[in-house]
Structure 1
Amino acid sequence: MKIGMNLLLWSGHIGPEHADLLRAIKATGFDGVEVPVFDPADTDHYATLGAMLDDIGLERTAVALIPDEAHSPISPDAAARQGAVDHLTRVIDCCAALGSQGLVGPWYQPLGVFSGAGPTDTELERCADVHRAIAGKARDAGMFCALEPLNRFESYLLNTCEQSSAYLERLGEPGFGILYDTFHANIEEKDPVAALTTALAKGHVNHVHISENDRGTPGRGHACIRETIAELKARHYDGWLTIEAFGKALPELAAATRVWRDFFVNPEEVYVEGYRYITQCLEHSA
């Protein structure tokens, strides 16, 4: 397994000004970082960032979102669904320039937008059509795709591993999998580890976020992180364990994820203690 750090803790747009931070992350022991690709207008920027990460010695994955309803894969408006295809196509171009190994995140609906009901079969099929349209491009770029089920307060299309597995079966694209997140599973799954076990047995989990129950420092809360890592190791998972924690650095994301207070003393606590905790869990698991 590889250990990564999601850079949304600091910014939604990583650049040369973050070089010292990236070197510190590398010096801590991380294998790579997860880069937000929220503004996919400039592939040259991501190519430059990729070269900088190569120089530092950090591998990378990328995380993306659906920016708004004008780019929603589940919209009844065909123009919005085409907007989603266009947006994700640009994201993949930036990921390719970055040298990203995978594209992860909840890029199936805008955050915090609700219909007042659960997902419909029509919405799921609309979303699948959008994802099928970009699957080949992602595959040609050599990237895996991991969709992240979120808790019911942030999205409604995919909340659980069971729903996500059913969606993957509907989608029928082998390059797609589930991003299992310990924070969201702590809210939505009756038994988070059992849900993970079932998804792993189906071969559906291809990325993991290590996120504490309060989205703070891993190991300082009650999310099933140690048990999750033990299960992943027992099932021979060989992908990423990427720390995801949120602060108030990005006001729009803080609002969408309901981050109203500080969950840690400083970001260094999150990545230093988080890395130490993950490596201890890996060492002590059977």
Structure 2
Amino acid sequence: MKIGFNMLLWTTKVGEQHRAILEDLCTTGYDGIEVPVFDGKPHYYDALGRVLTGEGLESTAITVIPSHEMNPIGDDSAQRAKALDYVKWAIDCTAAMGAKVLCGPLHSTLGHFSGAGPSQAERGRALEFHHLVGDHAKAAGVVLAVEAVNRFECYFLNTMDDLAAYLNEVDHPAVSGMYDSFHANIEEKDPVAAIGRNIRHIAHVHISENDRGTPGSGHVDLAGTFKALKSGGYDGWLTIEAFGRTLPELAAATRVWRDLAPSSAEIYRKGYRAVSDGWARA
């Protein structure tokens, strides 16, 4: 198991200006960071990967599909083509950085709603999309960890059972799933039981408190989460995802209207202990 920290607490583009944070994350004990891949070219991420290696950190990557103009399940072929190009670009950036996992809600445009539940036509388009990007990811040595996201942010895949049933249909070696404790806290009848039922489709994990603040400070059942993952044989990343108000645009996108912790340092230091100690006890 490896412990990571998602850099979206501070930025959508990690750079030299974040070196002090990277150093402290490494000193705290983190094995790596999760890098937002929202813009830039592969050569930028290649250089960033070398910086991270120098700091003793590994990486995973995260992206979202930000515009309805590039919706993988859209009824317009131009939308789907743009989505395919976008995710292929994100895969290339991930591989250039040396990361092996690209995670996120890589199934539909984040925040876009049709006004109804997912249709069979949309499911068919998604399957075609994931077979195509799956082939690209496999060639690049990257696994896509597709995220089930709560109903207030998307309508296509909301629960782990939804995600697992869908991934059974995809049936591609480079397309798997991820579990996020924040989204599960909203959507699952029993978030811990959802892990056990769907463990074979969990390639990546986000540890996120119910308010998206410091892990261990809210009511997410971390002890049960770690026990279920460990008993199921999970040995991948446990990446903390928390949000703050450092960037107004990002705060607005994540609906953070108040400080969720006294400082970002408290989130990653206390969060690390919550994950490290909790896993050891599980």
Same fold (TM over 0.5): yes
Q: TM-score, normalised by structure 1?
A: 0.96
Cα deviation 1:167-212 (Å, max 9, x = unaligned): 1012121222211000100000000011110001xx1111000000
Structure 2 residue 239 is matched with structure 1 residue 249: no
Secondary structure of the structure 2 residue equivalent to 1:5 = strand
Equivalent residue letter for 1:234: S
1:178 is matched with which residue? 177
Cα deviation 1:202-239 (Å, max 9, x = unaligned): x1111000000000000000012221011111222100
Partners of 2:63 and 2:103 within 8 A in 1? yes
Shift of 1:255: 2.7
Higher mean alpha-carbon deviation, 188-197 vs 132-141, is at: 132-141
> In structure 2, how many angstroms separate the alpha carbons of the residues matched to 1:241 and 1:177?
16
Question: Which stretches of structure 1, 4 residues or more, deviate above 6 A after TM superposition?
Answer: none
> In structure 1, how many angstroms separate the alpha carbons of the residues matched to 2:279 and 2:133?
35
Partners of 1:6 and 1:245 within 8 A in 2? yes
1:185-204 counterparts in 2 under 5 A? 185-200=184-199, 203-204=200-201
> In structure 1, how many angstroms separate the alpha carbons of the residues matched to 2:175 and 2:95?
17
> In structure 1, how many angstroms separate the alpha carbons of the residues matched to 2:226 and 2:52?
27
1:37 is matched with which residue? 37
Cα deviation 1:111-135 (Å, max 9, x = unaligned): 2111111111111111121121111
2:74 is matched with which residue? 75
> In structure 2, how many angstroms separate the alpha carbons of the residues matched to 1:163 and 1:115?
18
> In structure 2, how many angstroms separate the alpha carbons of the residues matched to 1:91 and 1:272?
29
Secondary structure of the structure 1 residue equivalent to 2:158 = coil
Partners of 2:72 and 2:126 within 8 A in 1? yes
Gaps of 5+ in 1: none
1:143-154 counterparts in 2 under 5 A? 143-154=142-153
Shift of 1:136: 1.5
> In structure 2, how many angstroms separate the alpha carbons of the residues matched to 1:121 and 1:24?
47
> In structure 1, how many angstroms separate the alpha carbons of the residues matched to 2:140 and 2:264?
32
Secondary structure of the structure 2 residue equivalent to 1:177 = strand
Secondary structure of the structure 1 residue equivalent to 2:27 = helix
Structure 2 residue 2 is matched with structure 1 residue 2: yes
Shift of 1:256: 3.2
Partners of 1:183 and 1:213 within 8 A in 2? yes
Equivalent residue letter for 2:206: H
Identity score, percent: 49
Secondary structure of the structure 2 residue equivalent to 1:61 = strand
> In structure 1, how many angstroms separate the alpha carbons of the residues matched to 2:242 and 2:177?
19
1:262-281 counterparts in 2 under 5 A? 262-281=259-278
Shift of 1:260: 1.4
Secondary structure of the structure 2 residue equivalent to 1:60 = strand
Shift of 1:20: 1.1
Partners of 2:71 and 2:80 within 8 A in 1? yes
Q: TM-score, normalised by structure 2?
A: 0.97
> In structure 1, how many angstroms separate the alpha carbons of the residues matched to 2:135 and 2:110?
25
Equivalent residue letter for 1:240: W
> In structure 2, how many angstroms separate the alpha carbons of the residues matched to 1:125 and 1:240?
30
Cα deviation 1:95-116 (Å, max 9, x = unaligned): 1111111110012112211111
Partners of 2:130 and 2:175 within 8 A in 1? no
Partners of 1:35 and 1:63 within 8 A in 2? yes
Shift of 1:247: 1.1
> In structure 1, how many angstroms separate the alpha carbons of the residues matched to 2:250 and 2:67?
13
Equivalent residue letter for 1:6: N
> In structure 1, how many angstroms separate the alpha carbons of the residues matched to 2:266 and 2:227?
23
> In structure 1, how many angstroms separate the alpha carbons of the residues matched to 2:135 and 2:249?
31
Partners of 2:206 and 2:241 within 8 A in 1? yes
